[in-house]
């Protein structure tokens, strides 16, 4: 990780709060980063609907002059065997030009702090095997690949 060039502030916000438009824009940029076509209106509708259905937590990172530079989306998920809830860090995105400056670390650290404060015993995430920068960040914060777990997926 590079040195933090400026102060990064991370806050949670709901879909009706000031700044939610920045979340929409960053999530749309995130989609484009992964080769989806930009569609800000559809992205906003999806985020609002998902927030209503799934208790999504939006984290927005801003830097100097209140410029939005990163976003994280977190969802609760039941852990039936333990009768607990874990959080899933589903998406983390730092805007181009702001990477390597501690924004991703600030976002994940805030998520971890909030989870601990809420008594959540575990956070899980997944990332692509070739995303070395993200994997290094997650490992530096203590994330590990659990033994005996195999991720499977079925496209429908």
Mind spelling out the 3-state secondary structure of 42-109? HHHHHHHHHHHHHCCEEEEEEEHHHEEEEEEEEEEEEEHHHCEEEEEEEEEEECCCCCCCCHHHHHHH
How many angstroms separate the CA atoms of 102 and 119, rounded? 26
β-bridge pairing 123-125 and 9-13: unpaired
The string of pLDDT tens digits covering residues 76-109 is: 999 988 899 999 999 999 999 999 999 999 999 9
Q: Say what the pLDDT of residue 148 is.
A: 87
Q: 85 CB contacts (<8 Å, ≥6 apart)?
A: 76, 77, 78, 79, 120
The string of pLDDT tens digits covering residues 110-125 is: 999 999 999 999 999 9
Write down the pTM of the prediction.
0.89
The string of pLDDT tens digits covering residues 59-70 is: 999 998 789 999
The string of pLDDT tens digits covering residues 38-55 is: 999 999 999 999 998 889
Query: Closest Cα to residue 124, out of 138, 136, 110, 134?
Result: 138
Residue 13 three-state SS: strand
Confidence bin at 3 (pLDDT 50/70/90): very low
- In total, the chain counts a number of residues equal to 156
How many angstroms separate the CA atoms of 8 and 109, rounded? 12
Tell me which residue has tokens 């920045």: 22
């Amino acid at each position: 990780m590079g040195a933090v060039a400026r102060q990064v502030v991370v806050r949670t916000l709901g879909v009706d709060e000031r700044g939610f438009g920045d979340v929409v824009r960053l999530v749309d940029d995130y989609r484009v980063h992964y080769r989806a076509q930009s569609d800000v209106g559809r992205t906003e509708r999806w985020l609002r609907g998902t927030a209503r259905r799934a208790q999504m937590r939006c984290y927005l990172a801003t830097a100097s002059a209140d410029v939005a530079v990163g976003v994280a989306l977190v969802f609760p998920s039941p852990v039936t065997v333990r009768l607990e809830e874990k959080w899933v860090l589903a998406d983390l995105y730092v805007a181009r030009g702001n990477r390597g400056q501690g924004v991703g670390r600030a976002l994940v650290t805030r998520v971890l702090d909030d989870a601990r404060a809420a008594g959540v015993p575990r956070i899980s995430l997944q990332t692509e095997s070739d995303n070395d920068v993200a994997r290094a960040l997650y490992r530096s914060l203590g994330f590990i690949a659990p033994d005996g777990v195999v991720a499977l997926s079925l496209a429908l």
